[in-house]
Structure 1
């Protein structure tokens, strides 16, 4: 810190300023600091934001908090991708001190003679202030100077013009004794880094043909997978994540359901990367050529999908790295190379990389591989098990890649200890998988989401109800209502969410004794008849599409920091809201977590969090059913797991709902929304549950 006024505890600060805090273009980033000074003179604080171009943006004035704890608050809004910095400054505010003193003296009945020095000093002060105010306001300041010096006017006429400059000189203050805290850094990503909807499918399953009648199985290709792109786009997803697309090892290849011995038609796990055809920079020949991949990426982009690739730093025993760089792996006492283990689980088809024997060589190769795929049009990477690799390696790699292309996004797939997950966010990972998959009750969800909001400066969550590895128990047994419930929770609590293919078909049969799918697609081809499922009502796709449509249409759902929970008297219900600080767009959700029983509840809403005073009433428009209700602080809700397990409301002042043609009031009475009378949402009819 430099200067006379102490400035402490500046936020956002990640690991004491060691790493940059995170934001996206257009995000309002809260900035706060504790600052104080001696005596009773007024002071002010401001934050100065410097862009990637090295140019300072206009200073933003900070306001003191409500708790008299000398903490000052404001927000900055970066407008470009790249590395930013910000500095909190404190200063003596002579105008505020002068104004406070003059008001007190006038209120005490002192006259012009008593205030002679104050009037003269005020005139000199305003002459200084006139230099820095906008040109269109300078005449106001000069007129106030003339009034202060005009002894022919009554005292009120002399001082009121100067006192009336409070708002102008708040925004453009006279600053003395300027003090500065140490600058802190901020990395700003493109908006998709925070707000995104992911869909995962295996290209080899799309258009695949299973073995039968003596014929071998045939893998799907990038060309056949093109047919699935419109269906994914129609559900409103914007990121299409592909498991590894590289050659798959033949040595120790796993069979179906992770069995040790593979059959002739077993295709192996895509995460067992590398074979004679190549390694991490190659494409599995069954999927097609490099040109086929480029066409696939371009076709996806045409329908609004950005392709994300898997980055798994491990090798099959027959990966070219193993023969060319044995020092990149761990050699056991018997001379064999160590395969991956997570006792008691064994992964004989995968060799972990050892980063200690040739770190420079490994770094150079991985950077080359990543930049190769960036050159092929890929800007999103889902990183497999990053918590098992050195953190300093990731910090270096992400920094190098972003220097080459600052728009690249890295999603950390790390279901591990909280400190490690948070640490990956701090060192640069753009997004993170989370424990959402195992947070079931409203109480658990509230606590966990509050933890994530507290970490919003460095960790961006991505909520997944399922993955190829994870079929949680509540999806195994909860029926179609639970699939809808988890989709609502994932998509509307977090700005980023995703599902693995088959979720919309209610796939739920587990491998015995495991929290994963039977006939796991990781080890076999799994073609699905999407059209037939849609035609006979066995698809959740329309409901998912509506959720993503609501997300896109409401800016409030694009952010994380604005999540607020509201009280509701039923422990099976969760109530939350999000309000966009710029547009005022507000979304209010009430969701049941019970897939079997109708649940009633009574809300106690935090109305200021919704943009209202405590006594006000307003209109809520259910974006799932089209129904409208008149609400206040206390409201009754009824949620049916099959007809409507959730309300997704947009909130409007009476008469301002742009879609309303029936007026602001429902016919259900002032304090009950009568959700049981609403039409069921799309995707509810004819849902079947088969084991």
Structure 2
């Protein structure tokens, strides 16, 4: 910092500026700082921010926050991908100092003679403003100077033109004694880094034919998996995540349900990467050729789906790296290569890399692999267990990849300690899996989401109600209502969410004593009758499509920082909202955590958080049922898990006698529920 005035506690700043904060193109990024000065003269602050092209963006004046705290606030909205910089400046504002003094002295009854020096100071300040204001406003400023200097006018007439310049000189201030704070960095991603809806499926299961007594199993291919793309797109997803598509090792291959011995028809885990056919840059021959993969990616794009690939830095025992670079692995005392373990779990079909052995060679090869897939059109990677690899490696790799293509995104699959998850976000991971799955009460979810909002400068959450590895007991025993509840929570609390195939079919049978699926798709082909389930009404797909449509149509749901919780007097219910001040769009949600019984509650809404005044009446439209209600700050709600476990409201303009819905209209829209008003 250089200059006269202290500038402290600038935000956003990650680890004292060691890492850049995060934003996306078009996001309103709050910037704040503490700045103060001696004495009573007015202080001003502004943000100077430069884009990746080095070009300065428009001057952004900061406004003071709560009186007495010396905290200043502004919002910047980056418009390009790449690394931005911003600096907070503090300055003496002579116009505000003059305005404050003159208005107080006139109010105290002082006349022109007593204000002679003040009038002269006004002339000096406005003269200094002439080269600062836009050309079209120069005449106004000159007229104000002339008025101040005209002792033939009455005092009010002399000062009024100068006082009328307050808005102009706020936007284009005279700045004296300018102090420049430290430079801070902001990495800006494309919008999908913050707002996305993910769907995971195994392409080998789509179109697969299980083994019979007369014929061996036949894997699905990229060509057969294309048939599933319209169904995924119809549910409103925009990212299609594929588990590893590489050759699968045969040595120590696991059988069904993670059995240690594989049968002749067992296909093995895709995460046991590498065989004679190739390694991390190869495609499993059962899925097709590189040309087939390119056709699949193109077909997905035609459906509005971006393909994400798994990046799992581990090897099957017969991966080519094992023979070509044995030094990349850990050798045990008996001379064997150590397989992966997470005691008491053992993964005999996987060898982890040892990044301390030939780190330069490993880094170069992994960068080559990632850029190979970038060259194939992949811009999103879901990274398997990144917390088991060195953090300095990830920091380096992500930076190197973004030098080639800054649009590449990385999702961290790291269910580990909080400090590590946050650390991965700081060093460059775009998004992160979270503890969402294990937050099963309203109080737990509220506390956790508030923690995530507070961490929005470096960690973006992606909420998943299930994965191939995780089938929480709430889904095992909660019935179809719980599947709806968890989907509402995931889709509408977080701007990014995802689900693993089978969720829409209410798949819930767990391996005894485990938090994972019986007949896990990681170890076997699992074709599903999607069309039959939907035709028979056994599919959640239409509900999922509605949630993703609501997400897409409401800009307020595209952000994380605007999440606000509202009080409700039933601990089984959670109430929250998101408001977008740019569009006026507001979404208000009340969701039950009880999949078995009807729950009632009474809201106490934070009205300004909805963009409303405390006494406003307003109309809410339920996006799930079409029902319309007249609401205020306090409202009674009833949620039936079997009819409607959540209200998803879009907030309309304040209700009036002419616009408020009638009881009959509401009843016609929602026959199963009463009209609930305050």
Gaps of 5+ in 2: none
Structure 1 residue 130: deviation in Å?
A: 1.9
Within a 5 Å distance, the mapping from 1:155-554 to structure 2 comes to: 155-554=155-554
Partner residue of 1:592? 592
Q: Taking structure 1 as reference, are residues 495 and 306 closer, same or farther at Cα in structure 2, changes over 3 Å only?
A: same
Structure 1 residue 114: deviation in Å?
A: 1.1
Q: Is the contact between residue 625 and residue 678 of structure 1 (CA under 8 Å) also seen in structure 2?
A: no
Structure 1 residue 292: deviation in Å?
A: 0.1
Q: Is the contact between residue 625 and residue 670 of structure 2 (CA under 8 Å) also seen in structure 1?
A: no
Matched, 1:665 2:678: no
Structure 1 residue 63: deviation in Å?
A: 1.1
Tell me how far apart the structure 2 counterparts of residues 67 and 522 of structure 1 sit (CA, whole Å): 58
Partner residue of 2:642? 642
Partner residue of 1:688? none
Deviations 1:413-464 (A, max 9, x none): 0000000000000000000000001001000000000000000000000000
Gaps of 5+ in 1: 657-661, 680-691
Deviations 1:150-179 (A, max 9, x none): 111100000011011111111111000000
Structure 1 residue 668: deviation in Å?
A: 7.6
Deviations 1:436-495 (A, max 9, x none): 010010000000000000000000000000000000000000000000000000000000
Q: Taking structure 1 as reference, are residues 162 and 635 closer, same or farther at Cα in structure 2, changes over 3 Å only?
A: same
Structure 1 residue 654: deviation in Å?
A: 3.5
Tell me how far apart the structure 2 counterparts of residues 312 and 668 of structure 1 sit (CA, whole Å): 58
Partner residue of 1:65? 65
- Name the stretch that deviates more: 168-177 or 196-205: 168-177
SS at match of 2:616: coil
Structure 1 residue 677: deviation in Å?
A: 2.7
Q: Is the contact between residue 639 and residue 676 of structure 1 (CA under 8 Å) also seen in structure 2?
A: no
- Name the stretch that deviates more: 241-250 or 213-222: 213-222
- Name the stretch that deviates more: 193-202 or 147-156: 147-156
Q: Is the contact between residue 638 and residue 676 of structure 1 (CA under 8 Å) also seen in structure 2?
A: no
Tell me how far apart the structure 1 counterparts of residues 662 and 569 of structure 2 sit (CA, whole Å): 23
Q: Is the contact between residue 572 and residue 593 of structure 2 (CA under 8 Å) also seen in structure 1?
A: yes
SS at match of 2:182: coil
Q: Taking structure 1 as reference, are residues 448 and 530 closer, same or farther at Cα in structure 2, changes over 3 Å only?
A: same
Deviations 1:208-240 (A, max 9, x none): 000113200000000000000000000000000
Q: CA RMSD in A?
A: 1.5
Structure 1 residue 655: deviation in Å?
A: 6.3
Structure 1 residue 663: deviation in Å?
A: 3.6
Q: Taking structure 1 as reference, are residues 140 and 675 closer, same or farther at Cα in structure 2, changes over 3 Å only?
A: farther
Structure 1 residue 669: deviation in Å?
A: 12
Structure 1 residue 105: deviation in Å?
A: 1.1
Tell me how far apart the structure 2 counterparts of residues 664 and 461 of structure 1 sit (CA, whole Å): 38
Deviations 1:625-666 (A, max 9, x none): 11111100010111110110000000011469xxxxx94324
Tell me how far apart the structure 2 counterparts of residues 23 and 139 of structure 1 sit (CA, whole Å): 40
Partner residue of 2:569? 569
- Name the stretch that deviates more: 388-397 or 137-146: 137-146
Partner residue of 1:33? 33
Q: Is the contact between residue 425 and residue 458 of structure 1 (CA under 8 Å) also seen in structure 2?
A: yes
Structure 1 residue 67: deviation in Å?
A: 4.2
Tell me how far apart the structure 2 counterparts of residues 120 and 16 of structure 1 sit (CA, whole Å): 45
Tell me how far apart the structure 1 counterparts of residues 241 and 357 of structure 2 sit (CA, whole Å): 32
Partner residue of 2:47? 47
Tell me how far apart the structure 1 counterparts of residues 614 and 158 of structure 2 sit (CA, whole Å): 41
Partner residue of 2:673? 677
SS at match of 1:181: strand
Q: Taking structure 1 as reference, are residues 171 and 668 closer, same or farther at Cα in structure 2, changes over 3 Å only?
A: farther
Tell me how far apart the structure 2 counterparts of residues 631 and 674 of structure 1 sit (CA, whole Å): 16
Partner residue of 2:607? 607
Structure 1 residue 675: deviation in Å?
A: 8.1
Tell me how far apart the structure 1 counterparts of residues 19 and 154 of structure 2 sit (CA, whole Å): 59
How many pairs are equivalent?
Answer: 673
Structure 1 residue 120: deviation in Å?
A: 1.5
Tell me how far apart the structure 2 counterparts of residues 606 and 108 of structure 1 sit (CA, whole Å): 40
Structure 1 residue 378: deviation in Å?
A: 0.3
Structure 1 residue 609: deviation in Å?
A: 0.5
Structure 1 residue 299: deviation in Å?
A: 0.3
Structure 1 residue 131: deviation in Å?
A: 1.2
Partner residue of 1:74? 74
- Name the stretch that deviates more: 140-149 or 391-400: 140-149
TM-score, normalised with respect to structure 2: 0.98
Tell me how far apart the structure 1 counterparts of residues 216 and 345 of structure 2 sit (CA, whole Å): 30
Tell me how far apart the structure 1 counterparts of residues 380 and 151 of structure 2 sit (CA, whole Å): 70
Q: Is the contact between residue 249 and residue 275 of structure 1 (CA under 8 Å) also seen in structure 2?
A: yes
Q: Is the contact between residue 640 and residue 676 of structure 1 (CA under 8 Å) also seen in structure 2?
A: no
Tell me how far apart the structure 2 counterparts of residues 121 and 602 of structure 1 sit (CA, whole Å): 58
Structure 1 residue 59: deviation in Å?
A: 1.7
Deviations 1:326-366 (A, max 9, x none): 11000000000000000111000000000001110011000
Deviations 1:225-263 (A, max 9, x none): 000000000000000000000000000000000000000
SS at match of 2:220: coil
Tell me how far apart the structure 1 counterparts of residues 228 and 392 of structure 2 sit (CA, whole Å): 39
Tell me how far apart the structure 2 counterparts of residues 666 and 472 of structure 1 sit (CA, whole Å): 43
SS at match of 1:299: helix
Tell me how far apart the structure 1 counterparts of residues 651 and 38 of structure 2 sit (CA, whole Å): 46
Tell me how far apart the structure 2 counterparts of residues 674 and 199 of structure 1 sit (CA, whole Å): 31
Q: Is the contact between residue 616 and residue 632 of structure 1 (CA under 8 Å) also seen in structure 2?
A: yes
Tell me how far apart the structure 1 counterparts of residues 201 and 121 of structure 2 sit (CA, whole Å): 73
Q: Is the contact between residue 226 and residue 296 of structure 1 (CA under 8 Å) also seen in structure 2?
A: yes
Tell me how far apart the structure 1 counterparts of residues 555 and 671 of structure 2 sit (CA, whole Å): 25
SS at match of 2:87: strand
- Name the stretch that deviates more: 378-387 or 607-616: 607-616
Tell me how far apart the structure 2 counterparts of residues 113 and 2 of structure 1 sit (CA, whole Å): 40
Q: Is the contact between residue 637 and residue 674 of structure 1 (CA under 8 Å) also seen in structure 2?
A: no
Partner residue of 1:686? none
Q: Is the contact between residue 430 and residue 459 of structure 2 (CA under 8 Å) also seen in structure 1?
A: yes
SS at match of 1:182: strand
Tell me how far apart the structure 1 counterparts of residues 581 and 197 of structure 2 sit (CA, whole Å): 22
Tell me how far apart the structure 2 counterparts of residues 343 and 318 of structure 1 sit (CA, whole Å): 23
Q: Taking structure 1 as reference, are residues 385 and 128 closer, same or farther at Cα in structure 2, changes over 3 Å only?
A: same
Tell me how far apart the structure 1 counterparts of residues 119 and 112 of structure 2 sit (CA, whole Å): 8
Q: Is the contact between residue 620 and residue 628 of structure 1 (CA under 8 Å) also seen in structure 2?
A: yes
